[in-house]
Structure 1
């Protein structure tokens, strides 16, 4: 900031000159022409005229304007004596002071916008169990695939999203859709039960997803851990992660950590 501290002492009859110095870009001394006017503060001492002392600290423009208004009123009041008393000047200024209050803006509803980045992959846990679609019902299983059964693993379109409200180094919001279908992984709850993982059919294009709408349960925060491991945390239900059981052929679900279930996955492009 350009301004540090400045002082100027004026007699009462110099008020008009003070006025011009405050309002004009061509003040009597260059330092007063500060580009950061809200960062200046004024103090008056009427024993020696009007003493303007300006120093750098956090002050609102509203406070500065009120002080200028108070000085204008000082000019227009006819004193009973040659000088005002400190108490009288203080009362004039305090009539115009408005206490600045810090207002925290209400957080806007988070929105997530689909980017052009999409990754096609299969997903397996750290013990090489792949996510496989059950033949009898719309659910996923964690299965160890033998030679010749690699075609059984599900291929996913992992669509990446961006949010203006995201913090630096935040996890990547994604949607996980089964390739060549309208089925998405969704974290949902029903009848007050704990969140659980389902396959949800969606026919519309998901270019924008807002928190609170019908498709916000499709979003997961993908976080890379270690060299190639990934976790998938529900955006709608923080703390709930996609997981597999240690046993083979068990249903893929969501769980809270720490847990006896597996939450680390690798993405394979093959």
Structure 2
């Protein structure tokens, strides 16, 4: 029994493979894609098990194989896109100050952070953050995935997408729920890629919404938000102290 894989290209070298004493396959060109490769793997393996079926049944199985291979390839692609982040450190504390020397404060009874230039004795008002670090096989090599929460609280910085604009929130969540975070759910809204851009300079990019960074407005007393890195009216670089 032979299975021939044709090609429209001319002059290409044919490769022959004896799958079993009764099955021979000739491949006239190398697979162009993962789908083609998956088909070449699936079809022969099934043919070895069906030597006693009718020609009609065999033809039907061969014709169905590309569809099944495509489904399996789609599942593989989804798996590759899914990332799992594991918390790996105890929390450390820090404060954030933008390049204009604005600190972050949280007004009483208000679920937002404001960027304000604090003077003298008022600097005690600035927010202290609790930072947890995470690892994942798929995170960029020059980054560290983190969560940011307000010290002595369950208020975490999170993000959402509203009409093509990323928005920053303070959202209540427990540490236990963020022990392991997967991108195939919605819990990655709490994760940010921390990247050092210079001496003591740091950016925080949303894991869920690539290209959106935690940032402050040039104007005083405005809420902390999410902005594009190249925005002229916002600062996305901080000193973490």
TM-score (norm 2): 0.68
For 1:52-71, what aligned pairs fall within 5 Å after superposition? 66-67=17-18
The alignment covers a number of residue pairs equal to 181
Aligned to 2:195: 223
Instruction: State the 4+ residue runs in structure 1 displaced beyond 4 angstroms.
Output: none
For 1:155-170, what aligned pairs fall within 5 Å after superposition? 155-167=128-140, 169-170=141-142
Deviation at 1:236, TM superposition (A): 0.6
Match of 1:120 among 81, 89, 93: 93
Aligned to 1:199: 170
For 1:1-20, what aligned pairs fall within 5 Å after superposition? none
Distance 2:155 2:109 in 1: 15
Distance 2:190 2:149 in 1: 9
Distance 1:194 1:135 in 2: 27
Distance 1:133 1:139 in 2: 6
Deviation at 1:249, TM superposition (A): 1.1
TM-score (norm 1): 0.61
Aligned to 1:132: 105
Distance 2:129 2:148 in 1: 6
Structure with greater strand percent: 2
Deviation at 1:165, TM superposition (A): 2.2
Aligned to 2:150: 178
Deviations 1:194-251 (A, max 9, x none): 2111100013511101113232111011110011110011111111111111122111
Superposition RMSD in Å:
2.3
Larger Rg: 1
| 1:195 partner SS | strand
Change beyond 3 A, Cα 1:117–1:134: same
Aligned to 2:127: 154
Distance 1:199 1:166 in 2: 24
Contact 2:83–2:184 under 8 Å retained in 1: no
Change beyond 3 A, Cα 1:68–1:195: closer
Structure with greater helix percent: 2
